[in-house]
Chain A
Amino acid sequence: MKVLVPVKRVIDYNVKAKVKSDGSGVDLANVKMSMNPFDEIAVEEAIRLKEKGAAEEVIVVSVGVKQAAETIRTALAMGADRGILVVAADDVHQDIEPLAVAKILKAVIDQEQPGLVITGKQAIDNDMNATGQMLAALLGWGQATFASKLDIDGDAAKVTREVDGGLQTISVKMPAIVTADLRLNEPRYASLPNIMKAKKKPLDEKTAADFGVDVSPRLEIVSVKEPEGRSAGIKVGSVDELVSKLKEAGVV
């Protein structure tokens, strides 16, 4: 079985996003970019399936600007076998919407025929939490989102999901889409020798047009503003002072 993992290049999770002064978006020029943290978890899970003998090949796919090749190389250095870069934008500020990404991924999947696709639960830039579910819909596959545990069980995947009420375990027929939550695993770091080896692994380059997918946005971004700020209050010197302040504020 092949496992396919879509990976997105996003602002590094340690960087606080700054809104551009013209209100057109978030400033991404000269900002540290990394693989979306949930996608590292998805890549790790796919590699573990291969190490356990449940998968033969791990393919990573990224849709976006040319620089997303670096994100693919990171996944290859972790242990993925080959990468596919689909260039769909030339400005780093141009985000491809989940629906268009899902359409491109569907076209790739039609060619590659993986038995399982593991996406991240959510991209930490646009906070959509949508691509995996949309892809499952387009393929007519089952979905197991927000996974914190994944076991392959014959032709089905048994998945424990993190939900509002606690945990839910379901079985989904394969091929299926699983989306990775934070506690699915702890991703490995790529070792230096593996980083060197990754440079020689195959990386195909395609364009959105190769798949005939229109990536023009359905949601026009009218403006982007900063949230209402919140300023630091005061430091209190004791529990007694805290209690009296809370009483004054009417919250206890």
Chain B
Amino acid sequence: MAVLLLGEVTNGELNGDATGKAVAALKSLGDVTVLCAGASAKAAAGDAAKIDGVAKVLVAEDARYGHRLAEPTAALMVALAGDYDHIAAPATTDAKNVMPRVAALLDVMVIPDVSAVIDADTFERPVYAGNAIQTVKSKDARKVLTVRTTSFDAAGEGGGAPVEDATLADDPGLSSWIADEVAESDRPELTSAGRVVSGGRGIGSKENFEIVEKLADKLGAAVGASRAAVDSGYAPNDWQVGQTGKVVAPELYVAVGISGAIQHLAGMKDSKVIVAINKDEEAPIFQIADYGLVGDLFTLVPELTEKL
């Protein structure tokens, strides 16, 4: 049994956390080969080779893989698929873009957001915004899946796996990149942060979001947001936590001015300790919070930031 894992490579850099957790999730299924594709991918491949449990790394360094477009990457994975029983990736937006395309080209179903590996054919995955956990057994000869990384431990540092060049596949030439709008931040990355402070509609404005950011910076935390906060323009889209945003499971999650809709809970209810600050004592977020503080966030959050 062998696994082909698409490493998460962005602008030449490996996301070691997401890729490593996916390796940890899948290494019981067989030798894991990590594929690093990008306009620049050699450095990422070098980093992937150091992940504990990686048997081999394939590099596809070429401009056609430069902007994580689905069509060329899917074509590459399909060309390589013959040698593998499992074709996988961490469940990032890039992978969610590419992997269903790979699966359909191979005429198999995709198994998204795997949260537990039972055996080579059987997997658990959350459905209905995490209100149910399905166990599914695949009848397909080849399994294409994405891994919900928050459900798995990080992989350690291992030895140096051999790195080889992959044979490139033709670019179908169906789409082209125009621009990226990426906010640079010194804060930890949301999905792997040990602490997260999120703000909701209760924050009231983009300017007021500073209250949340100050608390986050005091805690060395990443900043998240509810959909309502993003829709209202208080926070950028990549901060959204939830069923259709990012899934986080930090040691500490602080929800400020967030009511606790099921779609939001889907993205954070596996956090270890949850704190909720909300002026409405009936807010559903208190039903899952370990520590609830009822009151006005505009006085409580600055006081908390001060006293930590």
Contacts and interface: CB of A to CB of B under 8 A. Distances in A.
B100 A170 contact: no
A33 to B, nearest CB: 13
A90 interface: no
Contacts of B251: 251
Contacts of A167: 180-182, 237
Contact of B286 (A137, A144, A146, A235): A235
Contact of B175 (A166, A173, A242): A173
B175 A165 contact: no
B135 A223 contact: yes
Given A219-B109, A221-B134, A165 B10 contact: yes
Contacts of B96: 129, 133, 145
Contact of A166 (B104, B178, B182): B182
B290 A227 contact: no
Interface in A106-153: 121-122, 124-138, 140-146, 148
B166 to A, nearest CB: 20
B262 interface: yes
| Secondary structure dominating the interface of A | mixed
B308 A243 contact: yes
15 contacts: A38-B244, A124-B129, A129-B96, A133-B98, A137-B100, A164-B246, A168-B177, A173-B174, A176-B174, A183-B237, A227-B130, A231-B288, A232-B287, A233-B289, A246-B273
A166 B307 contact: no
B269 interface: yes
Interface in A97-113: 97-99, 102
Nearest to B137: A220
Nearest to A230: B288
Q: How large is the interface on B (under 10, 10 to 19, 20 to 34, 35 or more residues)?
A: 35 or more
A229 to B, nearest CB: 9
A200 interface: no
A133 B272 contact: no
B136 A19 contact: no
Interface string A209-239: 0000000011111111111001111111011
Interface centre among B107, B129, B175, B178 (most CB of A within 10 A): B175
Closest 5 CB pairs of A and B: A142-B174, A233-B290, A133-B100, A134-B104, A137-B104
B291 A242 contact: yes
Nearest to A121: B244
A162 B307 contact: no
Contacts of A234: 290-292
Interface of B: 10, 67-71, 74, 92-94, 96-105, 107-113, 122, 126-140, 172, 174-183, 191, 195, 219, 227, 230-231, 236-238, 243-244, 246, 251-252, 262-263, 269, 272-275, 281, 286-294, 300, 303-304, 307-308
B113 A127 contact: yes
A11 interface: yes
A156 B274 CA distance: 46
Interface in A182-220: 182-183, 217-220
Interface of A: 11, 13, 16-19, 25-26, 38, 97-99, 102, 121-122, 124-138, 140-146, 148, 158, 162-173, 176, 181-183, 217-227, 230-236, 238-240, 242-243, 245-246, 249, 251-252
Contacts, number: 258
A127 B182 contact: no
Interface centre among A26, A130, A141, A232 (most CB of B within 10 A): A130
Nearest to B135: A222
Nearest to B253: A251
Contacts of A19: 131-132
Contacts of B230: 183
A251 B293 contact: no
Contacts of B177: 168-170
Nearest to A128: B112
A245 B174 CA distance: 55
A20 B263 CA distance: 21
Contact of B231 (A25, A122, A182, A232): A182
B128 A26 contact: yes
B263 to A, nearest CB: 7
A82 B66 CA distance: 40
Given A227-B126, A232-B286, 19 more contacts: A17-B132, A19-B132, A26-B128, A98-B100, A128-B112, A141-B174, A145-B70, A145-B96, A146-B97, A162-B238, A167-B182, A169-B178, A182-B227, A222-B136, A224-B127, A225-B133, A233-B290, A236-B292, A251-B272
A162 to B, nearest CB: 5
Given A141-B174, A183-B231, A221-B134, A133 B101 contact: yes
A220 B122 CA distance: 9
Contacts of B182: 165-167
Interface centre among A163, A169, A182, A217 (most CB of B within 10 A): A163
B276 to A, nearest CB: 9
B252 A219 contact: no
Contacts of A124: 128-129, 243-244
